[in-house]
Structure 1
């Protein structure tokens, strides 16, 4: 496993040393157990942990060359997985505070493990994590409807919620593609997972009616592109359609459309979505813009309320630092994991035809010009 520190840089924007400092700001908040909370205690309120953001932080640590804390993060995640394959939605100081299991939280371990394998070429690590990934994907697909969307949470009493989320399902699409690649790499192919991914990707790209309306959130705008289900002209049109709604010139991307608040994490995810869609120029410009949220110690403020002209909500978060590091890696484009949002195991991410057209009521979808033909 590589031992040298090799944090990414972006010419004229951030140096490798600056990104390494950002990674160390994540490690500074890692708990003794290996868990990575959103932030250190803020005004007496401790930061919470969830599996998705924890994994994103671990990925960023690996990108920066901080392998030991990254591996502690994965070992903690493995050790606290529940028998059904899920993780609680939230912990605070090691105590479960929200026990429901979210589907995209569970699925994302496949992205983390695949990314770690790409970055370190450590087959033994991937094999050790395989049972964890397999249980997590089985849990996730236990929440997939016949049409193809994945319900967002299974509550503590075992009952699923009554709706799916576009952002979560877009992330799950990428997770399933990583899980399929990992299974093939380890000699345990899972064709049912691939069919599930095909159906989900089609629904994300072509069936907005399958999802609860969260359109005020910028993530619902760009995540279908970031997760890989939307590409080509459809991606360009989608990003153009709400650009003026969510992007504030000189400041970054809003978290929600109706609040004067830009956030570094959403901005950097949008950077990666733009790059995946082939718009490297705007991706670089946006990454440069968001540097106004960098703190002198290398961490990043979560957001900026531009009417009140103050940092909001007032914390410097690990998931924000992680998003910055991952975006820098994507823009630099030189690490083995930098193409994670473009292709998986040599296969470009992109829309897929429905594995079961009867389930969603259509037989054909053109990526460039979605036209549904009823059966």
Structure 2
């Protein structure tokens, strides 16, 4: 306990702790401000409906002009009148949809939107579109059917502003990288403070007690830092735009069947936090190992960032690494992706231009728990052996 209290005081007194926290919040909230102003304009559904209405109005004018031509035969006129009637009916339907979207009358809007989604799915199947295009069409239809069945209004999830939706957005995109980077700096600093002239002052204590104290203290501090950031990114947008509905279905995927699914938001939160807790215990052990091994903060920081941040980013960039990503503990630092099944699909860092839908079912919550627990155990043993060796060196000298 005295060791924990000492390290907490060091973290709270450190300017870097507060500067890094503020920097992360500013980075995230700058995206929220952009989303907020974007939300003031027409929604994507309304913009699409207006665009389609304008196209159909042009079509009606064109067909009316065609009917006035004198050299048309009876069959041609009959076909044009049939197409004209269809376009006019479509215009009336689009106008009803636009009216419903403007008044946010979703129970009137959903049947029309579902009808359109079915049309686009049939069109994708008919034209032999690639598997990803077909899966997206199925996803859009399933989302509308789910929302209509549960009587939920459609929320903005692409550029979200409500607290819960914005939290999911940043967790999927960049928040894990920022927090891992910040906590790595913090952990290197608090662990390096235990050294004087490259000698660890705590080596006078029994190793098992010392390592467990350092391991648990670093884990608690790093996860608490993440948790504070996590809560603030939820609370601040919620003050201005509301929390959002935690029963709202969030897009996920069954990576085995390669079909999109929709998961209630509240079912995502606990698995995400479990993976993040294990991730930060692993991070604490890794940083502690490098600090003990090198005894120089700069080198320890360099290796920690290279291994931890590099390890979590590489599977996002390098498609070849995804084949064995389930064995890399850092793959689970993006905790949302293993939970919702969208690893390798939804992240913003993939360079792969995959026309066929490729999934990675091996990167999942269960494997994440197993791999991280094994990694934590290995790091505990490594840290113990390094500390034991250092302590023997002191005694021999």
For the superposition of Structure 1 and Structure 2, which TM-score range results when normalised by the shorter chain?
A: under 0.3
Greater fraction of residues in strand: 1
Please, what TM-score do these two structures have when normalized by structure 2? 0.22
Larger Rg: 2
